[in-house]
Amino acid sequence: MCQEIPTKRKHLEDVASTCCNLSFSCRRQYRGHLRSQLHVSNNAQVLEEGIYKTASSFKNRIATYRITDSGKADISTFLESVKLKTCKLIHDTILQLNSLKLQLELFAYYTKFINDEELIQLKSFNTKYVVVTESTVLENVYDQLAVYDQLADIIKNKSDEFQEKDSAEIKMLNDN
C-alpha cells in the first residue's frame, strides 16, 4: 500500500506517493492525488483477474471494489459478462460478514454531437443500497443472481433514459 514519506522541513514538506512514483511539495497536492483515478488504480489490491479492491475501512467491513471486463462497449453485454464475478464477490462477502449493504455503480463515456463537434462525457449510473443477508441469499444461487439482475436492470434503465433524453451514444465503458 502507498505510504507518505515526509521530510523534516517546517513550512514545506515533500510528500511521496510510493505506488505512483510521484512526489509533491505540499500536503494539499498530495491529498488531491490520493483521490485521483491514477492513485486509486495503482493502489488497488488485485483479488483475481478483473476484480480489484480499491478501498476499505473499518477492518474491511466497508469496501469498494472495481470489476472490469475490457472490450465491452454495450452496457447489457458488460453487465452480463461481470455477473458471475459480482455474484461470487457477494457470496464470499456474505460468508465472511453474514450481511452486506450493496450498491452497483457503472461508469461509461458517452458521445454527443453539438454544432458538429464531438463532446465526450463521463457519466455514472448507480443503484440504491440493497441489504443482503446470509439467510436471504445463500440458500440458493439463483437468489444471488436475482439480486444482481434487479440492480443491473436499474442501471440499464437509467442508461437507456439518459441516451434517449440527451441523444447520446455510448462510446466505451470506463475500465479504470
pLDDT tens-digit series, residues 69-116: 877 678 888 888 888 888 888 888 888 888 888 899 988 888 888 888
Smallest CA-to-CA distance from 151 within 104, 106, 107, 108 is with: 104
Grid cell 495503482 — which residue? 42
User: SS3 for 128?
Assistant: coil
Q: Do both 154 and 109 map to the same domain?
A: yes
* Any domain includes 64: no
Q: Model's pTM, two decimal places? A: 0.69
Task: Tell me how crowded residue 123 is: count the other CB atoms within 10 A of its CB.
Answer: 17
Output the CA torsion 48→54→55→59 (10° steps).
10
Which three cell numbers mark 53?
479492491
Instruction: Confirm whether 145 is domain-assigned.
Output: yes
| Residue 117 lies inside a defined structural domain of this protein | yes
pLDDT digits (tens, 9 = 90+) for 25-63: 777 777 777 777 667 667 667 778 888 887 777 887 888
Residue 54 lies in a domain: no
Contacts of 117 (CB under 8 A, 6+ apart): none
- What is the Cα–Cα distance from 165 to 167, expressed in whole angstroms? 6
- Residue 130 sits in which domain range? 69-173
Residue 103 lies in a domain: yes
In a domain, 48, yes or no: no
C-alpha count within 13 angstroms, C-beta hemisphere, residue 143: 12
Strands 45-48 and 105-114: unpaired
The total of structural domains in the chain comes to: 2
In this structure, are 18 and 84 located in the same domain? no
